[in-house]
Amino acid sequence: MRGLIELLSVPSLLTVQDNGRRDYRKLGVPVSGFMDDYSARIANYLVGNPGNAPLLEFLLTGPTMRFNASAVFAVAGDVKVKLNGVPVEPWTSYWGKRGDVLEVRTLKSGLYGYIAFAGGVKCEKLLGSCSAYPRANLGRPLKAGDRLSLSYAILTGREGRYLSPELRPDYSSKEREIRVVLGPNLEHFSETGVKTFLSKAYTVTSESDRMGYRMDGPVIGHSQKGAGIVTEPLIPGAVQVPANGRPIVMMRDAQTTGGYAKIGTVISADLHLLAQSRPGTRVWFRAVGVEEAQEILRRREKTLKAIEGFLAGEMGAYRIKIGEEERIAFTKVEKS
């Protein structure tokens, strides 16, 4: 079968991802899905898809591909993109015609980029998701020569959508503040250990992947209870601290149980910021309460909903200034 998209070059990890497997953790199956759900959802909105539609996620360097039929696509990331050798903009939807070649270069900032197609990548759902989790043979990394099909979509009106720079996520900083909810195993840490965790910088190491990000930095001291606990559930964002005192943050492909004490959990709204942190990025952890974490997530979801409406022409965007801070506000477009 000749797919609509033919991969000509795949220089780094390239997988199909959606928003993951939500109902199988009790059976030992990780969530998987988008490492940066914020960028991935916007990529889908750019081509008129629902936010959870399957797309391509690449690590650092994107693929080169040929269109064997017309398709509308968008690339999300701080990256140079060429269509038939001519530079085109990321965060913008374009019409790829039969025979066109799309080349996605190396990200200038951030770690993961996304390529979305109108209709979404067509794939066989395994346990309710198209997300690749190669460790369990749930999908596999893509390679040169693979051909992909797309689900049916009416393409008219999906090209030419553009996300202005002020609305794009910015991953260029080499320092990040990541908010966490403390616990649930605080009794396994000394008072000094908790203070260290919240007051010192930790560096993302090269021993990091979709399963977990290992951090280097000051030792987090345990209490007399030590680092070990009776094995209990893990979720993406959980911060384990093994006996060496260096934190490990669980990511989208994390195992579902673990036996190291957890000092905190990265809030859902910030996990994509950590995911986009390259090795060497300095991270500062700041504690927030559960209610604050929920409010931050509500604001984030409201912003994404507004961006979806803006890209669909249903919302307008304008700048407002509150004190010294500039923000983007959205307003509903009245249609005549």
HEC readout, 88-152: ECCCEEEEECCCCEEEECECCEEEEEEEEECCCEECCCECCECCCEHHHCECCCCCCCCEEEECC
Structural contact between residues 121 and 34, judged by C-beta atoms closer than 8 angstroms = no
Domain boundary among 167, 192, 219: 167
pLDDT band at 332 (very low <50, low <70, confident <90, very high): confident
Residue 261 and residue 303 in one domain: no
Residue 257 and residue 201 in one domain: yes
pLDDT band at 1 (very low <50, low <70, confident <90, very high): very low
Q: Is the pLDDT of residue 320 over 60?
A: no
Residue 102 and residue 247 in one domain: no
| Greater pLDDT, 242 or 156 | 242
pLDDT number for residue 206: 97
pLDDT band at 331 (very low <50, low <70, confident <90, very high): confident
Residue 122 and residue 210 in one domain: no
Residue 259 and residue 119 in one domain: no
Q: Domain span at residue 320?
A: 291-332
Give the type of residue at 319: R
Instruction: Summarize pLDDT for 85-132 with one digit per residue, the tens.
Output: 999 999 999 999 999 999 999 999 999 999 999 999 999 899 999 999
pLDDT band at 330 (very low <50, low <70, confident <90, very high): confident
pLDDT number for residue 231: 96
Residue 306 and residue 255 in one domain: no
Q: What is the pTM of this model?
A: 0.94
Cα 173 to the center of its chain, rounded Å: 17
pLDDT number for residue 2: 53
Q: Is the pLDDT of residue 324 over 70?
A: no
Look at the chain and report how many structural domains it folds into.
3
Give the CATH number of the domain where residue 221 resides.
Answer: 2.40.100.10
Q: Is the pLDDT of residue 20 over 70?
A: yes
Distance from first CA to last CA of the chain, Å, rounded?
Answer: 46
pLDDT band at 215 (very low <50, low <70, confident <90, very high): very high
Domain boundary among 147, 167, 187: 167
pLDDT band at 325 (very low <50, low <70, confident <90, very high): low
Domain boundary among 145, 167, 189: 167
Residue 187 and residue 163 in one domain: no
Q: Is the pLDDT of residue 321 over 60?
A: no
Residue 163 and residue 309 in one domain: no
Residue 52 and residue 137 in one domain: yes
pLDDT number for residue 178: 98
Instruction: Summarize pLDDT for 109-118 with one digit per residue, the tens.
Output: 999 999 999 9
Instruction: Summarize pLDDT for 235-245 with one digit per residue, the tens.
Output: 999 999 999 99
- Name the DSSP letter for residue 243: T
Instruction: Summarize pLDDT for 130-139 with one digit per residue, the tens.
Output: 999 999 999 9
What is the mean pLDDT of the segment spanning 16-20?
A: 97
pLDDT band at 315 (very low <50, low <70, confident <90, very high): confident
pLDDT band at 329 (very low <50, low <70, confident <90, very high): low
What is the DSSP annotation of 24-56?
A: -GGGT------SSHHHHHHHHHHTT--TT--EE
| Greater pLDDT, 199 or 319 | 199
Residue 31 and residue 78 in one domain: yes
14 closest CA partner among 109, 142, 118 = 142
Residue 50 and residue 130 in one domain: yes
With pLDDT > 90 as the criterion, what percentage of the chain qualifies? Answer: 89
Residue 100 and residue 184 in one domain: no
What is the mean pLDDT of the segment spanning 1-17?
A: 89
